[in-house]
């Protein structure tokens, strides 16, 4: 096994990795910015090292600082978490060139999957369904207009190096495409340092279904079932559940097989996610992208499979083969995750970081909360607004919904606004209870959901409907 891991991230994912390492007897070094000096992972790690000022570009995105920290503290490996440099192929290569095991896929695999336009072609060759779109990147407005005319409107302009809903614009006509192309390129350049774009046909009213995969160095690839991530705003996920209620056993098997083929096509190693769009009829699915890292929502897969995904990452990075086969993977019960973000839904989801004046997390059977917050700490304005991930597991989907409602009634965070009330309202919406929500649900239903919250004067309802 690995001996000492540099955790090149912060917040709840840094804490999640730290805990998995401690249970395996692996020493941890927490890399932190000056602003994160009092962060919980910094306090709990075997050792901590400051890597720069608060600004992410000067700390968590500073490749030289992270590599120097790993070498100076005698780390034999580095876990990138999610976000920041987790899908940076050059950084993965630099780690290995300096004798540090990058806990994730190779730089070549990241490049194959990371360029969304190139990945589409790989998937097509591998027999994985892809949406109609451009043949490779669109390097000009004229290229984009020609591709859109060929596949038909509406279309999506998407950043080849994108993720997290950034660098995406919808176009319903040729008149709107030039401005959308310019805006998407500018956002992609600012977020990813790469403004390459591609275009694809917009699948109307789809469900967003993703499959968790594991792959070892020996060439074994398995999937650990699916997650439904359709409750999202502006391509940012809010509520996820596993497994997806809309999948039949036959369709689940077919999509799982496609996810495995996708991982094999990029010669994958480690934990990753293959994301699909399922059409409104629930019969046709299309490859959307592959995330070459641990996902924010990995916890609900752990709850329904009993598999510790970070532990598996550490085992694979140590050169060990998978300790399970596809036939060993079973999905038990149902799990739901609500992302609690420091943002104000009534003010166009404006980020609202601040000091935690009082904090109480829910508990009880089948409840898990991943968070690095504690009473008196500050959720900083320099990074992501994620405050906590509340997860529940129960024998049935309806029981899981009821358990999550109870958890959000118990959840208390004073000091800044969160989206907890909005998530609570979603859990009562008939469309969610029926399991019929598509990716358009939240944007369409937001005024209605916010009205319910306002009627309660900012307080969560304590009765059950």
pLDDT in tens, 135-184: 889 999 999 999 999 999 999 999 988 766 789 999 999 999 999 999 99
Q: Are 241 and 338 in contact (CB under 8 A)?
A: no
> Beta strands of 246-349 (E only): which ranges?
270-278, 285-291, 334-341, 343-344
Is residue 273 over pLDDT 70?
yes
Model pLDDT, residue 164: 66
Q: How confident is the model at residue 462 (pLDDT cuts 50, 70, 90)?
A: very low
Query: Which helix (H) or strand (E) segment is 207 a member of?
Result: strand 207-215
Q: Is 252 a catalytic residue?
A: no
> Hey, what's the torsion of the CAs at 191, 195, 200, 204, to 10 degrees?
30
- At residue 454 the predicted structure's pLDDT band, cuts being 50, 70 and 90, is low
The pLDDT of residue 311 is above 60 = yes
- Please state the rounded mean pLDDT for residues 89-101: 98
Q: What pLDDT, on the 0 to 100 scale, is given for residue 463?
A: 40
Percent of the chain past pLDDT 70, that is, above it, reads 97
Q: Is the pLDDT of residue 307 over 50?
A: yes
Beta bridge partners of 388: 340
Give the mean pLDDT of 210-217.
98
C-beta separation of 30 from 42 below 8 A: yes
Phi, psi of 409 (to 5 degrees): -70, -35
At 457 the pLDDT is 44
Ranges 10-19, 197-206, 296-305, 348-357: which has the least confidence: 197-206
pLDDT number for residue 190: 86
133-147, 236-250, 305-319, 450-464: the lowest-pLDDT one:
450-464
Residue 455 pLDDT > 90: no
Q: What is the pLDDT of residue 460?
A: 47
Cβ atoms of 112 and 262 within 8 Å: the answer is: no
Report residue 464's pLDDT band, with 50, 70 and 90 as the boundaries.
very low
Residue range 246-265: average pLDDT? 97
Do 412 and 181 form a contact (C-beta atoms < 8 A)? no
The C-alpha atoms of residue 29 and residue 80 are separated, in whole angstroms, by: 12
Q: What is the mean pLDDT of residues 6-29?
A: 98
The pLDDT tens digits of the residues spanning 314-348 come to 999 999 999 999 999 999 999 999 999 999 999 99
pLDDT of residue 105 exceeding 70, the answer is: yes
Looking at residue 40, its pLDDT comes to 98
From the candidates 293, 339, 403, 405, give the one annotated as an active-site residue.
293
Give kind and range of the element (H or E) at residue 71. Answer: helix 63-72
Task: Specify the pLDDT at position 432.
Answer: 97
Q: What is the mean pLDDT of the chain?
A: 94
**pLDDT(212) > 60:** yes
Count of CB atoms situated within 10 Å of the CB of 306? 12
Q: 334 CB contacts (<8 Å, ≥6 apart)?
A: 241, 242, 243, 304, 393, 394, 395, 396, 397, 399, 400
Angle 309-317/298-305 helices, nearest 10 degrees? 100
Mean pLDDT calculated for residue range 115-143:
89
Q: Is the pLDDT of residue 459 over 90?
A: no
pLDDT of residue 120: 83
CA dist 431 and 416 (Å) reads 29
β-sheet bridge partners, residue 351:
343
């Amino acid at each position: 096994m690995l001996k000492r891991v540099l955790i090149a991230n912060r917040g709840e994912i840094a804490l999640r990795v730290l805990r998995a390492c401690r249970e395996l007897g692996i020493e941890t070094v927490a890399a932190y910015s000056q602003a994160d000096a009092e962060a919980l992972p910094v306090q709990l790690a075997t050792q901590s090292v400051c890597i720069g000022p608060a600004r992410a570009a000067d700390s968590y995105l500073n490749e030289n600082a992270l590599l120097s920290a790993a070498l100076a503290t005698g780390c034999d490996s580095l876990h990138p978490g999610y976000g920041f440099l987790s899908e940076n192929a050059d950084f993965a290569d630099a780690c290995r060139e300096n004798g540090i095991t990058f806990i994730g896929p190779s730089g070549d695999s990241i490049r194959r999957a990371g360029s969304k336009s190139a990945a589409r072609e790989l998937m097509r060759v591998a027999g994985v369904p892809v949406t109609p779109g451009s043949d490779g990147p669109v390097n000009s407005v004229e290229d984009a207009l020609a591709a859109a005319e060929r596949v038909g409107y509406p279309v999506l302009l998407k950043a080849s190096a994108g993720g997290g809903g950034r660098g995406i614009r919808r176009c319903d006509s040729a008149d709107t495409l030039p401005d959308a192309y310019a805006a998407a390129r500018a956002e992609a350049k600012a977020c990813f340092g790469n403004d390459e774009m591609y275009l694809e046909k917009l699948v109307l009213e789809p469900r967003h279904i993703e499959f968790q995969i594991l792959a070892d160095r020996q060439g074994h690839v398995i999937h650990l079932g699916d997650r439904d991530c359709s409750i999202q705003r502006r391509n940012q996920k809010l509520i996820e559940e596993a497994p997806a209620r809309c999948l039949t056993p036959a369709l689940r098997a077919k999509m799982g097989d496609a996810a495995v083929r996708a991982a094999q096509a990029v010669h994958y190693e480690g934990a990753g996610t293959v994301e699909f769009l399922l059409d409104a009829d629930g019969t046709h699915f299309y490859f959307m992208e592959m995330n070459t890292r641990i996902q924010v929502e990995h916890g609900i897969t752990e709850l329904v499979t009993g598999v510790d995904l970070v532990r598996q990452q550490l085992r694979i990075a140590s050169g060990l083969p998978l300790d399970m086969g596809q036939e060993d993977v079973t999905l038990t019960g149902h799990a739901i995750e609500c992302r609690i973000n420091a943002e104000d839904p009534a003010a166009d989801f404006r980020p609202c970081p601040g000091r935690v004046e009082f904090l109480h997390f829910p508990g009880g059977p089948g409840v898990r909360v991943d968070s690095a917050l504690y009473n008196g700490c500050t959720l900083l304005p320099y990074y992501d607004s994620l405050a906590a991930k509340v997860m529940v597991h129960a024998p049935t989907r309806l029981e899981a919904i009821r358990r999550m409602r109870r958890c959000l009634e118990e959840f208390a965070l004073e000091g800044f606004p969160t989206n907890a009330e909005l998530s609570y309202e979603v859990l009562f919406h008939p469309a969610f209870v029926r399991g019929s929500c598509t990716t358009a649900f939240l944007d369409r239903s937001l005024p209605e959901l916010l009205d319910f919250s306002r009627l309660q004067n900012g307080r969560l309802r304590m009765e059950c409907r």
